[in-house]
């Protein structure tokens, strides 16, 4: 049996709740703790606002106010559908942890000394990262096997931000495609050893929103599959060739408009 810790960006994250719920049912995995990053951090807000701009306000509104409702806005595959299929009853990670008797912690930041102390004492084999900022080297060095992250794009080609949109903008839907990649985290941005990949089929009427919604569902699947196979020693990491990809950054709204047009052209071509 391997010991796992789940890191989450906020206590009502549906992605984190699904991963935690499914992980707790794995016989060969001991979910030893759930650690949630506190939403009240002015320094972090400033840093993320400089990166995301006004888009950060929309993200906060969706997470804190809209909550799970945002996953039911389309009729395709999304996290709300998976939650219904799994009969997920928990509205927060705190209630899940309480019911399943899993230690639950709130920390100022995942890299904070308190977080490092908690994780160090628990001495996990793996950490499952479901969001909450960039993880620094002192944290990444703690788990015996490594820290799992699921990236919303195909590695190594598309690292970084807005990779769904950049894939469409560069006309790479057929050659690279949309999907998710499970990898171990390292000090770089999406540059750690690759464990698993999964692509999605993109129908002619797909939008960036529906594509992202479906990718989120396979991220849950990859996280659980990866943890399960690591517990059985059957998953072998594949080192990335850094020259085969590049890091992308937040897409400007005007470029995104052009990317949406590119998406429609590529999906609806004869």
Tens of pLDDT, residues 98-130: 999 999 999 999 999 999 999 999 999 999 999
Distance CA 96, CA 25 (A): 13
Phi, psi of 257 (to 5 degrees): -60, -40
Mean pLDDT of 198-223: 96
Distance CA 147, CA 137 (A): 11
Instruction: Check if the beta carbon of residue 145 is closer than 8 Å to that of residue 2.
Output: yes
Mean pLDDT of 86-105: 97
Kindly report the CA angle at 69 between 129 and 100, in degrees rounded to 5?
Answer: 50
pLDDT band at 262 (very low <50, low <70, confident <90, very high): very high
> How confident is the prediction for the chain on average, in pLDDT?
91
β-pairing, 146-151 with 179-184?
antiparallel
246: number of CA atoms within 13 Å, CB side?
Answer: 5
Tokens representing 219 are 């991220």
pLDDT at 66 over 50: no
pLDDT at 257 over 60: yes
Neighbours of 19 (CB within 10 A): 27
Mean pLDDT of 41-48: 57
pLDDT band at 269 (very low <50, low <70, confident <90, very high): confident
Give the C-alpha distances (Å, rounded to integers) separating 174 from 83, 90, 170, 196, 206. Answer: 30, 39, 11, 20, 14
Q: Looking at beta carbons, which pairs linking 145-149 to residues 24 or more positions away fall under 8 Å?
A: 145/2, 145/230, 146/184, 146/185, 146/192, 146/193, 146/237, 147/184, 147/185, 148/182, 148/183, 148/184, 148/185, 148/195, 148/223, 148/226, 148/227, 149/182, 149/183, 149/184, 149/185, 149/190, 149/192
Give the C-alpha distances (Å, rounded to integers) separating 270 from 135, 201, 266. Answer: 44, 17, 9
Predicted confidence at residue 59, as pLDDT, reads 55
Map out the domains of the chain with their CATH numbers: 1-144 (3.40.50), 151-270 (3.40.50.170)
pLDDT at 220 over 90: yes
Tokens representing 164 are 């769904």
Phi, psi of 219 (to 5 degrees): -65, -40
Predicted confidence at residue 235, as pLDDT, reads 96
Q: 147-187 pLDDT, tens per residue? A: 999 999 999 999 999 999 999 999 999 999 999 999 999 99
Q: 23-32 pLDDT, tens per residue? A: 999 999 999 9
* Burial environment of residue 150 by CB neighbours within 10 A (0 to 12, 13 to 18, 19 or more): buried
| Among 22, 15, 26, 20, residue whose Cα is nearest residue 231 | 26
Grouping H, G, I as helix, E, B as strand and the rest as coil, residue 157 is coil
**What global pTM score does this model have?**
0.90
Predicted confidence at residue 270, as pLDDT, reads 78
256: number of CA atoms within 13 Å, CB side?
Answer: 13
Predicted confidence at residue 45, as pLDDT, reads 53
């Amino acid at each position: 049996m391997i010991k796992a810790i789940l890191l989450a960006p906020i206590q009502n994250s549906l992605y984190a709740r699904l991963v935690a719920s499914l992980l707790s049912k794995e016989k060969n995995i001991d979910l030893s703790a759930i650690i949630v990053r506190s939403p009240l951090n002015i320094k972090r807000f400033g840093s993320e606002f400089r990166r995301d701009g006004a888009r950060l306000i929309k993200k906060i509104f969706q997470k804190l106010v809209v909550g799970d409702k945002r996953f039911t806005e389309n009729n395709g595959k999304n996290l709300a559908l998976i939650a219904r299929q799994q009969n997920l009853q928990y509205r927060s990670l705190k209630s899940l942890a309480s019911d399943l008797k899993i230690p639950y912690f709130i920390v100022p930041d995942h890299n904070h000394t308190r977080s490092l102390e908690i994780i160090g004492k628990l001495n996990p084999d793996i950490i499952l990262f479901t969001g909450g900022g960039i993880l620094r080297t002192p944290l990444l060095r703690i788990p015996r096997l490594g820290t799992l992250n699921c990236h919303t794009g195909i590695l190594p080609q598309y690292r970084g931000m807005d990779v769904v949109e950049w894939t469409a903008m560069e006309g790479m839907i057929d050659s690279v495609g949309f999907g998710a990649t499970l990898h171990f985290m390292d000090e770089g941005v999406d540059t750690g050893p690759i464990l698993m990949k999964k692509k999605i089929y993109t129908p002619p009427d797909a939008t960036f929103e529906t594509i992202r919604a479906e990718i989120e569902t396979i991220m849950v699947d990859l996280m659980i599959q990866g943890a399960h196979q690591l517990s059985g020693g059957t998953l072998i990491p594949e080192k990335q060739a850094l020259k085969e990809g590049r890091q992308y950054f937040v897409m400007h709204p005007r470029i995104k408009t052009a990317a949406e047009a590119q998406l429609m052209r590529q999906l609806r071509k004869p």
